[in-house]
Amino acid sequence: MLTLYFAVGSLGIFFGNAIYALIYEASMEYGLFISICMLLLSIALVIISIRILDFKYIPKPEFSIKPSERITSRVRELTLSVFIGGFAIAYGSVVTIGSIAYVYLYEVFSVPKPITALILGTSGVVGILSSLVLGWIADKKSEVLAISIPLVAIILAPVLLLIKNTELLLVSIILIAIAIKAYTPLSRRVIAVHTDRPASGIGRVNAIMNMGISVGHLIFGVSYDTIYPLTYSISMVEIVLTSIVLLIASPLALVSLVMLIRGFKR
């Protein structure tokens, strides 16, 4: 259900990108009208969802048996690995999230903004489908395999961005989408299943991933504004910026992957 929940949210992002691509060249009045309609629709959906929800508090039974030191250490390692992986994936996805994605893809790869919106939206759909598949794998086959795939994807994606090739650019964006879309529900699943305080754990994952996005945008934006005026070579801008992402995201994702595998083997 966690995977389905996040998949529906990602589907909403896809429709938003698709609508933006369609109205990009429309008049300001028409674009404003569509934006207001989307806002009102969002408000209506939020009100409806609140009305149909039925919150019931079920107290969790308390057990007198304390977990062993081995179990406590395993939970601590799994939790820490999820936090590190969440930061790495959120940080590494900055080139496909927000306005920076449009600036980067346009000035480095000369991709027009409407096409960028369609690319990001389509990659989001691929990410949604992959999250559903990986969610099924986590439920039926192997939880460690399912959560390892997004980490491997975020390790490979910045490497592909170093090669200025349109096909590899698309592959890299898809890998990043798979990483962020699939890791979000899977990390929450690990926290919910393997810890005794899932609510606070999930809240920390959310905070850390939001922090990763914020730090990534800050570093990426400052680096871009600093490097771009100093060189006329777009290739140099591309190499330096993707290297900044690579030097932080990939090692952290690798550390998280090793810790997860070791934690699940205990």
pLDDT score recorded for residue 199: 84
Query: Is 99 inside any structural domain?
Result: yes
pLDDT score recorded for residue 258: 92
- Whole-number Å distance between alpha carbons of 203 and 220: 26
pLDDT score recorded for residue 98: 66
Query: Is 75 inside any structural domain?
Result: yes
pLDDT score recorded for residue 58: 59
Domain holding 256, by residue range, is 2-58+69-265
Query: Is 10 inside any structural domain?
Result: yes
pLDDT score recorded for residue 255: 93
Query: Is 64 inside any structural domain?
Result: no
Query: Is 257 inside any structural domain?
Result: yes
| Residue 178 CA to its chain's centroid (Å) | 8
Query: Is 239 inside any structural domain?
Result: yes
> Which tens digits make up the pLDDT trace of 4-19?
666 677 677 777 777 7
- In order, the DSSP letters of 48-92 are HHHHH------PPPP-SSPPPHHHHHHHHHHHHHHHHHHHHHHHH
pTM to 2 decimals? 0.76
Query: Is 251 inside any structural domain?
Result: yes
Q: What angle do CA 120, 124, 130 make, to 5 degrees?
A: 145
Number of domains in the chain: 1
> What CATH number does the domain containing 163 carry?
1.20.1250.20
Query: Is 63 inside any structural domain?
Result: no
Percent of the chain exceeding pLDDT 90 equals 17
Neighbour-count burial of 86, counting CB atoms closer than 10 A to its CB (0-12 exposed, 13-18 middle, 19+ buried): buried
pLDDT score recorded for residue 56: 57
What stretches in the chain show pLDDT beneath 70?
A: 1-7, 10, 54-71, 98, 228-240, 266
Residue 53 identity: L
Determine what percent of the chain falls in helix, strand and coil, rounding each to the nearest 5. 85, 0, 15
pLDDT score recorded for residue 213: 87
